[in-house]
């Protein structure tokens, strides 16, 4: 029995990686860690457990391959059933909107518990981190049949929006600080 409703974006990622070619587990994990690290994360044990579940559901096939004196390794290939699940998951994923939540927004709610100069300094630190992320955004070389650039463009747009919002917020808080400071001196 196939529990396709239990498949998620991680299954979509693994099936998608296998759409281009059969790969062994190390290749799959290496690709996710190196090329997709900013837009997708998956721990190796999770990937292997999910590959086993996909194989049990017959969405991927597994065979052993041995090169020279190396130990045999499992090679994963997508099946016709896997292609169908991939296509369904892809449609669902593209149509889904997940409202993002940010741990840093919790601190914004309590910002008034810090003296304004401290709050501004912390936000400037946050801004510097976002700007550093934008400066070091990894560009992955194009891959056949993959639109990785779209995922990176989306991530970059979100980071730019956060940066711009932070700049505006810091300016407003600095104005408030000047006004409060002037009123305190009067």
The CATH code of the domain at 4-95 is 1.10.10.10
pLDDT at 139: 61
Confidence at residue 129, expressed as pLDDT on a 0 to 100 scale: 94
Gap between the Cα atoms of 100 and 165, Å rounded: 15
pTM score of the predicted model? 0.75
Look at residue 183 in the predicted model and tell me its pLDDT.
57
Question: Which residues, 6+ apart, have CB-to-CB distance to 184 below 8 Å?
Answer: none
Region of residue 46 (phi > 0: left; psi between -120 and 50: alpha; otherwise: beta): alpha
State how far the Cα of 23 lies from the Cα of 29, in Å rounded to an integer: 10
**For the chain, domain boundaries:** 4-95, 103-185
Each residue's pLDDT expressed in tens, for the chain with a length of 186 residues: 344 456 789 999 999 999 989 998 888 888 888 777 777 888 889 999 999 999 999 999 999 988 888 888 999 999 999 999 999 999 999 999 888 888 889 999 999 999 999 999 999 999 999 999 888 776 656 666 667 778 888 888 899 999 999 999 999 999 998 887 655 544
Cα–Cα distance for residue pair 118/58, rounded to 1 Å: 56
3-class SS shares of the chain: helix, strand, coil, % to 5: 65, 10, 25
């Amino acid at each position: 029995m196939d529990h396709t409703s239990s498949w998620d974006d991680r299954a979509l990622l693994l099936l998608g990686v296998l759409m281009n070619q059969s790969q062994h587990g190390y290749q799959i994990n290496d690709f996710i860690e190196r090329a997709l690290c900013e837009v997708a994360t998956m721990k190796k044990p999770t990937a292997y457990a999910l590959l086993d579940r996909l194989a049990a559901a017959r969405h991927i096939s597994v065979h052993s391959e041995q090169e020279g004196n190396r130990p045999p390794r499992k090679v994963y290939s997508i099946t016709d059933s896997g292609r169908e699940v991939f296509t369904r998951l892809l449609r669902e994923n593209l149509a889904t909107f997940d409202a993002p939540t940010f741990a840093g927004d919790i601190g914004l709610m309590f910002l008034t518990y810090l003296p304004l100069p401290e709050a501004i300094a912390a936000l400037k630190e946050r801004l510097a981190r976002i700007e550093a992320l934008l400066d070091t955004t990894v560009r992955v070389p194009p891959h056949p049949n993959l639109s990785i650039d779209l995922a990176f463009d989306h991530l970059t747009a979100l980071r730019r929006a956060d940066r711009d919002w932070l700049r505006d917020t810091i300016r407003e808080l600095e104005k408030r600080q000047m006004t409060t400071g002037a009123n305190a001196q009067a």
